[in-house]
Amino acid sequence: MAPDSHRRRGRALSAEDEEPPRGSLARFLMICFFTALVAVILGLYSIHSLFERRARSEAAQSDWSLSAVSDKLAVRPPGARNQLRVFFTKDGARLTPVSLPAKGPLPPQERGRQALEALFRGPSDSLYASPIPPGVYLRAFYLREAEQRQAMEAVIDVSRDVAQKPLGGIGAELLCVYAIVNTALANCETADCARILVDGSPVKGVLWSHVDLSGPLLPGAMIVN
C-alpha cells in the first residue's frame, strides 16, 4: 500500500478518536435535565408548603379574631350594683363570667376598678384561673371621652412588665385582653369601649405577637354562658 494512503488513514483515525462519544454526552445532558427538573419541582413544592402554612396561620388568626368580637349585650353589667362580674377561665380557651360581691353599692367607675382588681388578683375558687400573666397589676382605671367619636372610653392602665410576658399564641393573648376588656365594660355601663395602656402609655400596634392594642376595643365573645 502506498505511503500516502497510510498517512490518510492515520489522520482519519485520529479525527475519530478526538470526537466525544455521543452516547455519553446524551446521558450527561439527560442527567442535567432531570436534576434541574427535580430541583424546580422541589422548589415549587417548598414555596407551596410555605404559602399553605401561612394561609392556615392567617385563617386560624382570622377565626380567633372573629370569635373575639361581639355586641355589648354579651357582657353588659348585671342589674345588682353590689355585684362584680369578673371574667376568668376554666379551660384556658374561653372566658366565664363569675359574680363576686362588691364593697357596697358603687358607681360604675368604682365598680369597674374593683372588678379589674379582682381579675388581676385572680380567683379564690380553684375551679377558675385568671388569664392575666402573674405579677401584672392594675395601675389605674378611669373614664374619658373616646377619640374620633362621641363615646365614653374605659381606660385600663396595666403595669409595664406585661410586655415582657409572652403568652404563647393568639388564643392566650385574646383571652388575656378580653378578660380585661370584658371585666371593665361589664361593670361600667357608662363606657362604650375600652383602651389598654401600659405603664401610662398607649400601645403602638401589637403588644406581644398577634393582638393589636393600638385602638379602642369592644367586648369579646369568648364566653361560656
pLDDT in tens, 84-99: 999 999 988 899 999 9
Cα 23 to Cα 28, 119, 210: the distances in Å are: 9, 80, 60
Assess whether 53 and 81 both reside in one domain.
Answer: no
Q: Are residues 46 and 78 in the same domain?
A: no
The rounded mean pLDDT for the chain is: 76
The total of structural domains in the chain comes to: 2
- Whether 1 is covered by a domain: the verdict is no
Residue 61 in domain: yes
Confidence (pLDDT) at 44: 78
Q: What is the mean pLDDT of residues 173-186?
A: 91
Cross-strand partners of 140? 157
9-13, 20-24, 178-182, 211-215: which is most confident = 178-182
Residue 89, domain extent? 74-202
Q: Among 97, 115, 98, which Cα is nearest to 106's?
A: 115
**Per-residue pLDDT tens for 34-76?**
788 888 888 777 676 655 555 444 444 434 333 344 444 455 5
Q: How many CA atoms lie within 13 Å of 80's alpha carbon, on the beta-carbon side?
A: 10
Whether the pLDDT of residue 131 is over 80: the answer is: yes
Whether residue 169 is predicted with pLDDT greater than 70 in this model: the reply is yes
Residues 126, 159, 139, 191, Cα dihedral to 10°: -80
- The verdict on residue 215 lying in a domain is no
In a domain, 34, yes or no: yes
All 3 cell numbers of residue 46? 417548598
Does residue 57 sit in the same domain as residue 90? no
pLDDT higher at 20 or 207: 207
If one compares 108 and 20, the residue with the highest pLDDT of the two is: 108
**What are the phi and psi torsion angles at 40 (to 5°)?**
-65, -45
Residue 97 CB neighbours (<10 A): 18
- If asked whether residues 82 and 61 sit together in one domain, one would say no
- 168 and 195 inside one domain: yes
Report which of residues 42 and 140 the model is more confident about: 140
Instruction: Say if CB 102 and CB 114 are below 8 A apart.
Output: yes
Q: Are 191 and 184 in contact (CB under 8 A)?
A: yes
